[in-house]
Structure 1
Amino acid sequence: MSFTIAVAGKGGTGKTTISSLIVGHLLRKGKTPVFAVDADANVNLNEQLGVKVDSTIGGMREELKKKIGANEVPAGMSKDMYMEYLLQDTLVESSGFDLLVMGRPEGPGCYCAANNMLKRYIDILAKNYPYVVIDNEAGMEHLSRRTTQKIDLLLLVSEPNPIGIMTAARIKDLAKEMEVSVKETGLIINRVNGQAPESLIEEAKNYGLEVLGTIPADDMLIDYVIKHTPLVELPEDSPVVRALDTILGKFGI
């Protein structure tokens, strides 16, 4: 069984950064291969992982709808077989991890059969990996569409301000409303200068959120981003890497 880590939070809090750091942590620990899923419509996890993306699930779904609508599925292939072929073609394979990019949300004309097949194949695919890391979009659309039904660890990311904390709490409530199975949930406060204010820690507790730790503001990380250097290449002595290692260590990861 794979262990699924989902990262979520308000837009701009650094979800993708945290997701890429988690993948880097798993690579260093030899917990491979890792299945990374970019579920944010604003696709950029691949840049922080240092891989190129040529196709997405959103584009694949639209192609499937057109082909089936025009009765142009390749001869000798069932719809399921064609879906599996397209899905494998969308998967980006790299050293130690594979990446699947969800891409744009579904447009007009919902094709439920495609969505159902898609979810089934993603579930089958995920079982081949010891760890699955999902970078969710701010609105948690893929939770509401039930693309992600089982989460072992939901990491909510907030900047060090009350609005981010409140949004994290709302996402936690949303997951519960959508009846997504979440075993453990925790809050990470990102881009902290020094110590996080006790008032923020207390506010998180009032929302029923456990603060797992903080990620410091780090000039090295900013330099990597500016130079388009993959964040998975950050050294082990980087402050952000050490901070995240400590947080994941609490779960034996």
Structure 2
Amino acid sequence: MRAKATTIAISGKGGTGKTMLSSLLVRYFSRYGSVFAIDADPDSNLPEALGVKIKKDVGAVREDILDIRADKVSPSMTKKDLFEMELLQIIEEGKAFDLLVMGRSEGAGCYCTINHILREVIDTKSKNYDTVIIDCEAGLEHLSRRTTRGADIMIVVTDATKKGILTARRVKELSLEVGIDFDRIVVIANKVTPETRPIIEELGRENGLDIIGYVPFDPLISQYDAIGRSLLELPEEAPSVSSAYEIFGRIRQEAEEKYRKRGG
């Protein structure tokens, strides 16, 4: 058991294939150890991509706890205790990985305390796994809320567009501005064709981005999405899967090397 899990956060502009790559990350790393997957995107799609049906998400639990009057809680249990207990119960436990879905927060009120409790629970729970994978919400908001604090690697997914590249650059800039110290921020270009790859390579250089790999456009992804089929069932010889696995292999080797140097 590791003293500290390797935590990988996945960010990017909406529509770039962030959740697709998150699901493939879960599939790949579950081969090498225990995985805790966290869907932190309010527009939750990771459960479907992983073929998991969830009973409840964190947003619903948070609302339930906030609605409970103080006199309805047992004197021996605080709301913090109740929230932690409920949170552990909604983690979907599977053979290959466990999944926690954040969901949406509805209604008025300050969530600062409960959000803090949530981060504490995730930090504590994560110690039981080898790898933690966080599918962040699209855009930049997760950085200002520090949802991804403590992540070792930030993967920013871009598609073959200038907008995607500029979002990736902004993620890198904003993480520095708000003081989130990732060990490494890298970019994976998704939905790439032979015609668009040289364009993306040039845009990456111009914007100072570390593009570590290219995943080709794969019509199988669209086919699976159209019928609601889990992306875990994609054949390993599919261009998207084989390319992604090659990239993930390098990420894993780098993480293992870092762990050994720390004396793990």
Please indicate the TM-score interval, normalised by the length of the shorter structure: over 0.9
CA distance in 1, matches of 2:199, 2:235: 32
Q: Which deviations, in whole Å up to 9, do the C-alpha atoms of 1:169-206 show, x marking residues without a partner?
A: 11111222221121111111111122543232122122
2:27 is the counterpart of 1:24: yes
Q: TM-score, normalised to structure 2's length?
A: 0.89
Q: Secondary structure at the match of 1:157?
A: strand
CA distance in 1, matches of 2:78, 2:42: 29
> In the alignment, is the contact (CA less than 8 A) between 1:64 and 1:114 conserved in 2?
no
> In the alignment, is the contact (CA less than 8 A) between 1:16 and 1:135 conserved in 2?
yes
Q: How many residues align?
A: 250
The amino acid of 2:57's aligned partner reads T
The amino acid of 1:24's aligned partner reads R
CA distance in 2, matches of 1:197, 1:191: 10
Matches within 5 A, 1:1-253: 1-27=4-30, 30-67=31-68, 69-74=69-74, 76-105=76-105, 107-194=107-194, 196-253=196-253
Give, in angstroms, the shift of residue 85 of structure 1: 1.0
CA distance in 2, matches of 1:105, 1:9: 21
Q: Which deviations, in whole Å up to 9, do the C-alpha atoms of 1:128-171 show, x marking residues without a partner?
A: 11101111111343332223211211111111011110111111
The amino acid of 2:14's aligned partner reads G
Assess, with a 3 A threshold, how the Cα gap between structure 1 residues 140 and 100 changes in structure 2: closer, same or farther: farther
The amino acid of 1:219's aligned partner reads P
CA distance in 2, matches of 1:226, 1:199: 29
Give, in angstroms, the shift of residue 2 of structure 1: 0.4
Q: Secondary structure at the match of 1:150?
A: coil
CA distance in 1, matches of 2:119, 2:184: 23
Q: Which deviations, in whole Å up to 9, do the C-alpha atoms of 1:185-244 show, x marking residues without a partner?
A: 111111112254323212212211011111111122222222211111212211111101
Q: Secondary structure at the match of 2:77?
A: coil
Give, in angstroms, the shift of residue 252 of structure 1: 3.0
CA distance in 1, matches of 2:134, 2:153: 10
| Aligned match of 2:261 | none
CA distance in 1, matches of 2:41, 2:171: 15
The amino acid of 1:48's aligned partner reads A
What's the C-alpha RMSD, in Å, of the aligned pairs? Answer: 1.7
The amino acid of 2:10's aligned partner reads V
Percent identity between the two aligned chains: 41
Q: TM-score, normalised to structure 1's length?
A: 0.92
> In the alignment, is the contact (CA less than 8 A) between 2:139 and 2:167 conserved in 1?
no
| Aligned match of 2:259 | none
Q: Secondary structure at the match of 1:147?
A: coil
CA distance in 2, matches of 1:119, 1:106: 19
> In the alignment, is the contact (CA less than 8 A) between 1:24 and 1:233 conserved in 2?
no
> In the alignment, is the contact (CA less than 8 A) between 1:154 and 1:182 conserved in 2?
yes
**Larger displacement relative to structure 2 (34-43 or 82-91):** 82-91
Q: Secondary structure at the match of 1:215?
A: strand
